[in-house]
Amino acid sequence: MARFPDHWMSELLSKSDIAAIASEYTLLKPKGKRLWGCCPFHSEKTPSFSVTPDSQMYYCFGCHAGGGVVQFVMEMEKLSYIDAIKYLAQRVGMELPEEVDDDKLRKERAVKERLYAACKAAAMFYHEKLMSPEGKTAQQYLAKRGIDGAIATKFGLGYAPPGWDNLLKHLTAQGFSKKELISAGLAVQGQKEGGCYDAYRDRVIFPIINTYKRVLGFGARTMGEDTPKYLNTGDTPIFNKRNNLYAINLQKGEHNADLIMVEGYMDVISLYKAGVKNAVASLGTALTQQQARLIKRFVPRVYISYDGDSAGQNATLRGLDILAKEGLEVRVIVIPNGMDPDDYARKFGGEEYLSLKDKAMTLNAFKLDSLMNGLDLNTADGREEYAKKACALLSELQPVEQERYIPTVSRRTGLSAETIQRQCGVTPRVEGNIIGNNRNTKQKSREISQGPNKAEISLLSCMINSSDALLYAMDKMAEYGIEFSSEGLDEFAAELLAVNAVGEKPNIPVMLSALPAEAAEAIGAALSADEQMIDPAATAEDCINAMARAQLDRKITELAAQMEQDGSSEVRSEYMRLVRARASLK
């Protein structure tokens, strides 16, 4: 199994909250020091699945699934250990470490480093072309859009000149192979064997840069009537548009109170030039859960400012719930006259745009407004239809939220507030956590096991919580020749002892992350034990004796069966020795 550096693993796990991740699969409710919900690994009606935020562990008292966030992702998404680590790293925006102890990952890392280098070299090539006499047409185009040289440099804008192999020749001369350029999305495979050509020609280039200031890919806009208007890098080993946001690199270290989400590259750039420097764009795709998580790493509040046309409003509606479900406070900036942020900022300036931000609508207010689209509220049928749709929305809200919006619906429909309130009560409510309910059905095939050995669980709990119990247990286990039921638990105990020997506190989540599922479940059970041990050392002694008795019982049973076939004095002598040893144990 690959071994990741402890410092890197510790950072990854500190950013990967087990409660937040488990909540995506099942609805969790607090009770005491834990969160409880129906287990996402087996079917049940009474919640037996628990998450302990303090220890970053989960454990199901029904099917005995347990462990840390790595085991949860492995089990829930059916991923290998390495793929689970990649999943979590991508989720929190971390790159895999260079010093990982795995040949396959090292090779994968080396390939990605070559692609990063190729994209960086391409970005420099495109920018140089833009700033050179060859880029005059592109310079004039950008100038008409209000973009000067300083802004072009800030965003690393570039120009791909006409021709089929300008970039290809430039980068192959620097030692990059055609295969690498195709893999990075910089070149396109030709029909002839071994042939390829530049991906972008005679277009303005927008580099897409991540929070580590790595160039991942590019957007390319035509300056004429060519179609499509934009060409964008497809999925590559280093780029997936679902996981990134345009201009997010400019937000690192800014400590903004909020971000503004817009649709296009030019929206971001025009706003920046107008003094609004906290805008990012969603790379021409519908807003994704991964992008919402990326935003949440930077700010608690986000303003959506999509184009004012109907397509833009539909995109806004799709994005609202995704952002809200990630715990972000969502507001909607409504731009008048169907204008987009680019046009509005260039025509009226940044201060005027920010005045729209001050008037931004809440998520629910925007939804209520959108429900009027296509309805004629001047007619009784239109008002009735709107009332039904609005009440269906309000029925999903908390009572205090309903109180806020019922007067709005009443005013628009002419119906009394009491009628609206009654309608909200009869509208069917969706029970529980929508995401959790849907994803909770992903798999129900886990068998209900008998659970880990109780003596081992209690002993592990003692060893984790008491240095004296740990030292006593390891000494006695060596004396009696006792081992845990799995190699993973033996390794965990040995690592506990090694950490204790240097006087350090064990980092249980990191130690747990690389354990096999069976061992992780046992540790999860140990950390979920409710009993408060008055004397861990004495409890450890009882556990050791129980484990020793069980081991002797197994050996005595084996020898008894052997004596039926071989009644030699040696076998009988060993049998009697074990019986005496068994009797001497408490």
Based on the fold, state whether residues 180 and 225 are members of the same structural domain.
yes
Give the domain CATH number at 148. Answer: 3.90.980.10
411-442: pLDDT as tens digits: 999 999 999 999 988 554 444 433 344 344 44
Judge whether 445 lies within some domain. no
**Is the confidence at residue 232, as pLDDT, over 50?**
yes
Q: For residue 440, which of 65, 91, 23 has the smallest C-alpha distance?
A: 23
Based on the fold, state whether residues 18 and 114 are members of the same structural domain.
no
Judge whether 546 lies within some domain. yes
438-453: pLDDT as tens digits: 344 444 445 555 555 7
Provide the angle, in degrees to the nearest 10, between the axes of the packed helices 417-426 and 380-394: 60
Contact 363, 334 (CB under 8 A): no
Contact 512, 520 (CB under 8 A): yes
Identify the residue with better confidence: 578 or 526.
526
pLDDT of residue 443: 47
Give the domain CATH number at 570. Answer: 1.10.860
Based on the fold, state whether residues 334 and 421 are members of the same structural domain.
no
Based on the fold, state whether residues 184 and 264 are members of the same structural domain.
no
Judge whether 448 lies within some domain. no
Residues 63 and 455: their CA atoms lie apart, in Å, by: 19
Return the bridge partners of 218, or none.
207
For range 463-491, the mean pLDDT: 85
3-state secondary structure of 218: strand
Boundary residue ending a domain (59, 92, 125): 92
The position carrying tokens 């009394």 is 416
Q: DSSP string of 104-151?
A: HHHHHHHHHHHHHHHHHHHHHHHHHHHHSGGGHHHHHHHHHTT--HHH
For range 313-333, the mean pLDDT: 81
pLDDT of residue 142: 96
pLDDT of residue 347: 93
Boundary residue ending a domain (355, 387, 420): 355
pLDDT of residue 348: 95
Based on the fold, state whether residues 572 and 476 are members of the same structural domain.
yes
The position carrying tokens 């959506």 is 304
Q: For residue 464, which of 547, 540, 521, 550 has the smallest C-alpha distance?
A: 540
Residue 338 pLDDT class (50, 70, 90 cuts): confident
**Residue-number span of the structural domain to which 75 is assigned:** 6-92
Identify the residue with better confidence: 450 or 257.
257
pLDDT of residue 313: 63
Query: Is 71 buried (19+), middle (13-18) or exposed (0-12) by CB count in 10 A?
Result: buried
Query: Structurally, how many domains does the chain consist of?
Result: 5
pLDDT of residue 376: 94
Based on the fold, state whether residues 157 and 214 are members of the same structural domain.
yes
Based on the fold, state whether residues 158 and 219 are members of the same structural domain.
yes
11-20: pLDDT as tens digits: 999 999 999 8
Based on the fold, state whether residues 572 and 479 are members of the same structural domain.
yes
Instruction: Provide the mean pLDDT of the chain.
Output: 86
Give the domain CATH number at 31. Answer: 3.90.580.10
Give the domain CATH number at 301. Answer: 3.40.1360.10
The DSSP element (H or E) to which 49 belongs, if any, is: strand 49-52
pLDDT of residue 575: 77
Identify the residue with better confidence: 60 or 442.
60
Contacts for 356 with CB less than 8 Å, ≥ 6 apart: 305, 333, 334, 335, 344
For range 291-319, the mean pLDDT: 78
Identify the residue with better confidence: 318 or 223.
223
pLDDT of residue 114: 94
Based on the fold, state whether residues 68 and 127 are members of the same structural domain.
no
Judge whether 447 lies within some domain. no
Q: What percent of the chain has pLDDT over 70?
A: 92
CA angle in degrees (0–180, nearest 5) for 336-284-217: 140
519-561: pLDDT as tens digits: 888 888 887 765 556 788 888 888 888 888 888 888 888 878 7
Based on the fold, state whether residues 271 and 339 are members of the same structural domain.
yes
Judge whether 72 lies within some domain. yes
Based on the fold, state whether residues 425 and 474 are members of the same structural domain.
no
Judge whether 227 lies within some domain. yes
Judge whether 62 lies within some domain. yes
Chain centre to alpha carbon of residue 256: 22
For range 487-515, the mean pLDDT: 85
Radius of gyration over every alpha carbon of the chain, rounded to an integer in angstroms: 31
The 3-class secondary structure across 164-210, one letter per residue, is CCHHHHHHHHCCCCHHHHHHCCCEEECCCCCCEEECCCCEEEEEEEC
pLDDT of residue 433: 38
pLDDT of residue 155: 97
What predicted TM-score, i.e. pTM, was given to this entire model?
0.71
Give the total residue count for the chain: 586
For range 84-95, the mean pLDDT: 87
* CA atoms within 13 A of residue 464's CA, in its CB half-sphere: 23
117-166: pLDDT as tens digits: 999 999 999 999 999 999 999 999 999 999 999 999 999 999 999 999 99
pLDDT of residue 431: 41
pLDDT of residue 314: 65
pLDDT of residue 452: 59
Query: Is 358 buried (19+), middle (13-18) or exposed (0-12) by CB count in 10 A?
Result: exposed
160-215: pLDDT as tens digits: 999 999 999 999 999 999 999 999 999 999 877 778 999 999 999 999 999 889 99
Identify the residue with better confidence: 356 or 578.
356
Based on the fold, state whether residues 303 and 209 are members of the same structural domain.
no
Boundary residue ending a domain (92, 122, 150): 92
Here the tokens at position 124 are 């420099």
Judge whether 444 lies within some domain. no
Contacts for 128 with CB less than 8 Å, ≥ 6 apart: 158
